[in-house]
């Protein structure tokens, strides 16, 4: 039997690729099959009558939000980043985000635009495992996560601590196991720890072990089923890659919008918080990223990069002005959300760098 991809079916029928995937998952395209992370469809299949009633239409339009708290998450800068979306250029039909993190920009874009292809990646294996778990089997994930919420919420503080640290130990145990398959227990633990730890941080030591203590939230939302299911739908045709940002090069072309949100360069000696993995991201890595940006700029891609502004503390520090000298640099207001000293939290400048 001759088959075509969901992308080809979308072009053939004049509907979005996401809608084709939804029709496949609903069993409304006979003999459609899931192969890896994509659907294949008989080439002779006819476009099904779109029988969505109002409930499905509303769900399709519901906004989605990040399922994790994330240090440096872009929720607060979203309005400024939105001003740089290049999708009015009708040729920009692909999106890449190689430092996915909490995904605030990704989910905003998936809520607003129908794109041909989307690529996300991160070097944090546990983060990528969680994205894949939500995409591939959100019910399997919820089956692990919901009991954690039901256990944690009603118990007192000392029992909570005991339960939290038991789950943290289990998470670190699973981190050490090589597993090419999606690990739904580890994904559920990732979300549980994120929602119940101090400030929702993800931090590891040099051995790669998660070491954030329990937070003080009274009634955290641990298993947001409605949002998880909405996120799962939007992720159906997203290519989710565990790896370095440089692996995105083969995906990126002149029809691609690329957003880079790397670990920020610390603006003070005490402000360093780049330990999302056991690997450092220092000035050498920042320069290599700038060189990569120049490389894909030559491909004709539209690019936006965010980072901290060194001029917050040293007006003469031109580090980013120099390494991104051929691009446009915009300084925008942001809030410092993570500091042990509350008096040092407040408005600072961050950078939005673009090649257009």
For 279-312, how does the pLDDT look when each residue is reduced to its tens digit (9 = 90+)? 679 999 999 999 999 999 999 999 999 999 999 9
pLDDT band at 48 (very low <50, low <70, confident <90, very high): confident
Residue where the block lists tokens 């399922």: 67
pLDDT band at 204 (very low <50, low <70, confident <90, very high): very high
Contacts of 352 (CB under 8 A, 6+ apart): 77, 80, 81, 84, 304, 305, 306, 329, 330, 332
DSSP state of 204: B
| 3-class secondary structure per residue, 121-190 | EECCHHHHHHHHHHHHCHHHHHHHHHHHHHHHCCCCHHHHHHHHHHHHHHHHHHHCCCCCCCCHHHHHHH
Provide the phi-psi class of 36: left if phi over 0, else alpha when psi is between -120 and 50, else beta.
left
Q: Say what the pTM is.
A: 0.80
**Could you give the percent of the chain with pLDDT greater than 90?**
71
pLDDT band at 53 (very low <50, low <70, confident <90, very high): very low
pLDDT at 338: 46
Question: Does residue 63 have a pLDDT over 90?
Answer: no
pLDDT at 76: 83
């Amino acid at each position: 039997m001759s088959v075509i991809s969901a992308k080809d079916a979308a072009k053939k029928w004049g509907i979005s690729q996401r809608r084709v995937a939804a029709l496949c998952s609903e069993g409304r395209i006979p003999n459609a099959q899931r192969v890896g992370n994509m659907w294949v469809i008989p080439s002779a299949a006819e476009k099904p009558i779109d029988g969505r009633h109002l409930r499905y239409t509303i769900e399709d339009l519901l906004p989605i939000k990040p399922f994790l708290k994330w240090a440096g998450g872009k929720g607060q800068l979203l309005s400024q980043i939105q001003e740089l979306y290049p999708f009015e250029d009708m040729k920009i039909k692909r999106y890449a985000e190689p430092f996915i993190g909490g995904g605030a920009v990704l989910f905003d874009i998936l809520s607003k635009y129908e794109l041909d292809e989307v690529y996300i990646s991160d070097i944090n294996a546990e983060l990528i495992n969680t994205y894949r778990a939500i995409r591939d089997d959100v019910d399997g994930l919820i089956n692990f996560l919901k009991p954690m919420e039901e256990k944690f919420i009603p118990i007192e503080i000392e029992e909570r601590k005991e339960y939290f640290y038991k789950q943290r130990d289990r998470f670190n145990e699973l981190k050490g196991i090589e597993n090419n398959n999606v690990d739904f227990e580890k994904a559920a633990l990732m979300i549980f720890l994120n929602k119940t730890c101090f400030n929702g941080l993800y931090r590891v030591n040099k051995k790669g072990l998660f070491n954030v203590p329990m937070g003080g939230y009274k009634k955290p939302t641990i298993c947001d089923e409605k949002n998880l299911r909405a996120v799962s739908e939007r992720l159906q045709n997203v290519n989710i890659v565990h790896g370095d940002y440089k692996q995105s090069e083969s995906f990126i072309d002149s029809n691609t919008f690329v957003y880079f949100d790397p670990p920020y360069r610390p603006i003070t000696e005490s402000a360093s918080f780049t330990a999302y993995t056991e690997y450092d991201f220092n000035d050498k890595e920042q320069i290599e990223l700038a060189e990569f940006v120049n490389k894909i700029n030559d491909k004709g891609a539209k690019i936006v990069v965010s980072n901290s502004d060194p001029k917050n503390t040293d007006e003469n520090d031109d580090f980013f002005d120099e390494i991104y000298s051929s691009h446009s640099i915009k300084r925008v207001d942001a809030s410092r959300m993570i500091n042990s000293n509350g008096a040092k939290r407040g408005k600072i400048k961050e950078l939005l760098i673009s090649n257009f």
